[in-house]
Structure 1
Amino acid sequence: MDPFLRKLRRHLLRWLHRSRRSGSVFFVRRISYNDVRSATDGFRRVVFSNSEVSAYAANFGEGGGGVCLVKELKDFDQRNGDSFHQQVQFLGRLHHRHLLSLKGFSVGRNRKRLLIFDNIENGSLKEHLNDPLKTPLSWRTRLQIANGVVAALKYLFLFSDPPVCHVSISSGNIMLDENFTAKLSDFGLLTSGGNSVMIPKSEDSMGQKSCKIIFQLGVLILELVTGQSSEMEGSDLVEWIQESRFYSSIDKMIDPDLGNSYDCTELKSLLAVAKLCIKSWDKPSFTIPQFFGYLQNKIDIPHN
């Protein structure tokens, strides 16, 4: 090997070794803690909060990235900085129309772990379904949201390398951009609390973790149809879809905000998807690729 190339290689290897030891992350922007604190108004602009994660609305201004969602991972192992940086590196490689894109990360005081995601101009789906002051979502928008979530799941289950380990679906973590495009926001190598929960490989039959995610998708679809909250695991909605004569009560269950603006054939297809998702919790009888093929045939809505 040429002496110059040998020397250059040695310096590159040393730099790479130092970078790994210092917790560096490639291709993902590191944002200063002070900038994040300022953009979130001192972490007072809370979007939602639980024992594992707090999410904040942030505005970094025109030159700094605009409106973003900042997530603070609360229950992360503070001693294991490598796992956090692996999570950041993984999220930075994921690119899909219906996933919230990672724009940067920050490590603050007391080793606070912060992830900065793409814009959230229209907030969460939950806000639009439950807040009477929000303009009701049209039937076409609801169909496109359902289709978008399915497309995001298909990407994460079948095309992510390495395979995604954690996905959670709820109206609270489906974010809507300025065009009301659905963006799944809770996914990664680790749960929000820093724990890894492996999802079965795509060629395998549906495992317990996969079934839970598909069940959550079914509940989300029922929310889109009825406008009702899925609090308490959506037990009332699940009981309704499992009734033998649920089709006869659709008129009573559909969201009044929709009026008569929905297509009956599309509605029944969407409910058929929800029913299959709920059923998969107890009786998974198909593989992941088969499942997504069925779902997309049922609710694939062309974009305008």
Structure 2
Amino acid sequence: MVIEMSVLFARTFFMGFSVTLMALLARLRVLVQQVVREFYPVSEDFVVLECVWKVDKFILLERKSKRENESQVFAFIKWITNAENFNKLYLPDSGKKRFIAGEISKLGKGNITSTIFSYRELCDATQNFHPSNMIGEGGFGRVYRGYIKSTNQVVAVKQLDRNGFQGNREFLVEVLILSLLHHPNLVSLVGYCAEGEQRILVYEYMVNGSLEDHLLDLRPGSRPLEWQTRMRIAEGAAKGLEYLHDVANPPVIYRDFKASNILLDENFNPKLSDFGLAKVGPIGDKPHVSTRIMGTYGYCAPEYASTGHLTARSDVYSFGVVFLEMITGRRVIDSSRPSNEQNLVLWAQPLLKDRRKFTLMADPMLEDNYPIKGLYQALAVAAMCLQVEADTRPWISDVVIALEFLAKKKLEIAIFKSM
């Protein structure tokens, strides 16, 4: 019975956002009869009442936004990122599960401007997803380099795991978020494919890969990132978070800030990618979002890891971890190091309390080519972001101000080199 309600809501939601509340409820009443007759021999009237009450409450809560269409999309993002709700989007069909999520292509006129690719087009673009074109692999699937002939465009093609509910939810969230949010420090979504059970995302191709490639997985013979480049990357990544936290309405919590999710273009300008774990932030008087704990071990804020309470300052903690990686050249978790150095944050905590030991934390690959004062200031920013108590961490907008200053200190580096 609960399943029918959710399916009807999803189907109706995808039909368009300009539908009035009364028309929506009328359509729901018709659709619910069809679903009940097809799948479940239960009382139709009772299910109709339940469905109407749920949807009525959901819509009324979200009608306060000035941009009604976008607020409803964000409302759906908020709803779909709840695992229990997401699982209700599946209906039994001859012993199998069919994907209601495939209706993404019908979501709201004008809200999704990305290209809808056929599976055949993306097979052609990636040479049938040939292993030689694979440029990355993660928990949700694989990423391939591709070439779209019709637009003469090189792209990154992420094929999600078809067997995972999680990958399917990530697909929905990422398409919606990247269709609504646009910023120089967020990766651009070129298009997507939702053909059958295929869930594929197509992004702009980032020539220089990820920050992790240049910082933690440096190939033999490759030059390490210079200090100033690191500060510029940190500044841009922080501006991407600032946009999500302070400009997006409602705010978005990224929830998976890490070096592998920071992509670099030909000029090493950073762009945040992989928004599948993103959550719509707390709205109104709510201090946090309560959610299932996800993300990457080592990057999660302590309060989120222990309670599931998520706030914008949870992202600030994750930023602090990545910034510390950029300063030290160390992985957040490195089992190849001595036991007392395997956890980057725990290793750094006592050193951050003694300025005389700050130079011990600088990445040896920099070969002392960094400004001493700049190192001190950068470590101070990292230390503030890594405060155990969330309320004592700075807002990301404050971090941006500090990094704008650090990213422009070229003169001091030149003076330091000449000493």
TM-score by length of 1: 0.77
- Could you say what secondary structure the match of 2:263 adopts? strand
2:136 alignment partner, SS class: strand
- Structure 1: which amino acid aligns with 2:178? L
Whole-angstrom CA distance in 1 between matches of 2:177 and 2:409: 29
Structure-to-structure mapping, 1:106-185, within 5 angstroms = 106-108=193-195, 110-129=196-215, 130-133=217-220, 134-164=222-252, 166-185=254-273
Q: CA deviation at 1:205?
A: 5.2
Give the partner amino acid of 2:346: E
Please identify, of 63-72 and 170-179, the stretch whose mean Cα deviation from structure 2 is larger.
63-72
- Specify the alignment match of 1:4 in structure 2: none
Q: Is the alpha carbon distance of 1:53 and 1:215 closer, same or farther for their aligned partners in structure 2, counting shifts above 3 Å?
A: farther
Greater fraction of residues in helix: 2
* Unmatched tracts of structure 2, length 5 or more: 1-17, 20-26, 28-101, 290-308, 336-340, 411-419
Kept after mapping to 2: 8 A contact 1:59/1:66: yes
* Deviation digits for residues 9-65 of structure 1 (CA, Å, limit 9, x no counterpart): xxx98xxx9xx968335411112222222322322222332332322222335x535
Given that 1:56 and 1:69 are in contact with CA atoms closer than 8 Å, whether structure 2 keeps it comes out as yes
Contact 1:150 1:296 in 2 (8 A): yes
Alpha-carbon spacing, 1:118–1:203, altered in 2? closer, same or farther (3 Å): farther
Instruction: Choose the corresponding residue for 1:297, options 388, 401, 417.
Output: 401
Q: Which has the larger radius of gyration?
A: 2
CA contact (8 A) 1:157 1:202 kept: no
Structure 2 partner of 1:60:
148
Kindly report which structure 2 residues correspond to 1:253-292, keeping only aligned pairs within 5 A, or say none.
253-279=361-387, 282-285=388-391, 291-292=395-396
Task: Determine if contact 2:250/2:280 at 8 Å carries over to the other structure.
Answer: no
| Aligned-pair identity (%) | 28
- Cα distance in 2 for partners of 1:246, 1:174 equals 30
Verify: 1:101 aligned to 2:207, yes or no: no
Residues in 2 aligned to 1:184 and 1:103: alpha-carbon distance in whole angstroms = 15
> C-alpha offsets along residues 204-244 of structure 1, whole Å, 9 cap, x if unaligned?
65763234422221111111111122236995320232115
> Does the Cα contact within 8 Å between 1:59 and 1:68 map onto a contact in 2?
yes
- The corresponding residue for 1:24 is 106
Counterpart residue identity of residue 385, structure 2:
C
CA deviation after TM superposition for structure 1 residue 122, in Å: 0.6
Distance 1:164 1:120 in 2: 23
Task: Label 1:21 to 1:238 Cα distance change in 2 as closer, same or farther (>3 A).
Answer: closer
Contact 1:169 1:217 in 2 (8 A): yes
Aligned residues: 274
Cα contact 2:210–2:261 (8 A) shared by 1? yes
How far apart, in 2, do the equivalents of 1:249 and 1:141 lie?
23
Give me the whole-angstrom Cα distance separating, in 1, the residues matched to 2:285 and 2:126. 42
Distance 1:296 1:265 in 2: 18
SS at match of 2:386: helix
C-alpha contact (below 8 Å) 1:158/1:202 kept by paired residues: no
C-alpha distance in structure 1 between counterparts of 2:218 and 2:245, whole Å: 32
Q: CA deviation at 1:135?
A: 2.2
Provide closer, same or farther for how the CA distance between residues 163 and 22 of structure 1 changes in structure 2, counting only shifts above 3 A. Answer: closer
Q: Answer yes or no: is the 8 Å Cα contact 2:244–2:253 preserved in 1.
A: no
* Contact in 1 for aligned 2:250/2:283 (Cα 8 Å): no
Could you tell me how far 1:246 is from its partner in structure 2? 4.6
> What's the C-alpha RMSD, in Å, of the aligned pairs?
3.3
Alpha-carbon offset, residue 286 of structure 1: 5.1
Q: Does 1 or 2 have the higher relative contact order (CA < 8 Å, sep 6+)?
A: 1
Letter in 2 for 1:88: V
Aligned to 2:343: 236
Structure 2 vs 1, CA of residues 253 and 132 (structure 1 numbering), >3 Å: closer, same or farther?
A: farther
Gaps of 5+ in 1: 1-11
Does 1:217 pair with 2:305?
A: no
- Closer, same or farther in 2 for the Cα pair 1:270/1:165, shift >3 Å? closer
Equivalent position to 2:357, from 246, 249, 259: 249
Q: Distance in 1 between matches of 2:334 and 2:141?
A: 19
Determine the C-alpha separation between the residues in 2 that align with 1:21 and 1:52. 20
Partner-residue secondary structure (3-state), 1:103? strand
**Map of 2:282 onto structure 1:** 200
Would you say the 8 A contact 1:269–1:299 is kept in 2?
no
Letter in 1 for 2:214: H
